Amino acid sequence: MTTVQWFRQNSRGSIINLFYLAPGTKEHGRLTSTFDSKERYSTLHIRDAQLEDSGTYLCAARAIEALTPADVIADVIG
């Protein structure tokens, strides 16, 4: 995995983007998210959770493989 995104879907069905993360940690208000690409996990913590934090929380991961020029040439030729 190279990047992770965290979203929250509220009771009306609206999806709100919370974080877009490369490996590391980000903080926004009472939310903290961590992404470890080597161990392949991400966490989302809500400090002092409140009623308005209710909803469904979703995580999406993206993986990109690095190709060498030889891989690209082999794919084009054969």
pLDDT (0 to 100) of residue 46: 97
Give SS3 for 78: coil
pLDDT single digits (tens) 47-60 = 999 998 988 999 99
Is 2.60.40.10 the CATH number for 3-77? yes
pLDDT reading at 74 higher than 70: no
Which residue carries 């609206």 as its tokens? Answer: 14
pLDDT (0 to 100) of residue 56: 94
**Confidence category of residue 73, pLDDT binned at 50, 70, 90:** low
Q: Where are the domains of the chain?
A: 3-77
Cβ(33)–Cβ(6) under 8 Å? yes
**pTM exceeding 0.95:** no
Could you give the CA distance from residue 46 to residue 18 in angstroms, rounded to a whole number? 12
pLDDT reading at 67 higher than 80: no
**Strand arrangement of the beta sheet that strand 3-9 belongs to:** 15-21, 3-9, 56-62
Q: Quick one: which of 14, 21, 10 has its CA closest to 53?
A: 10
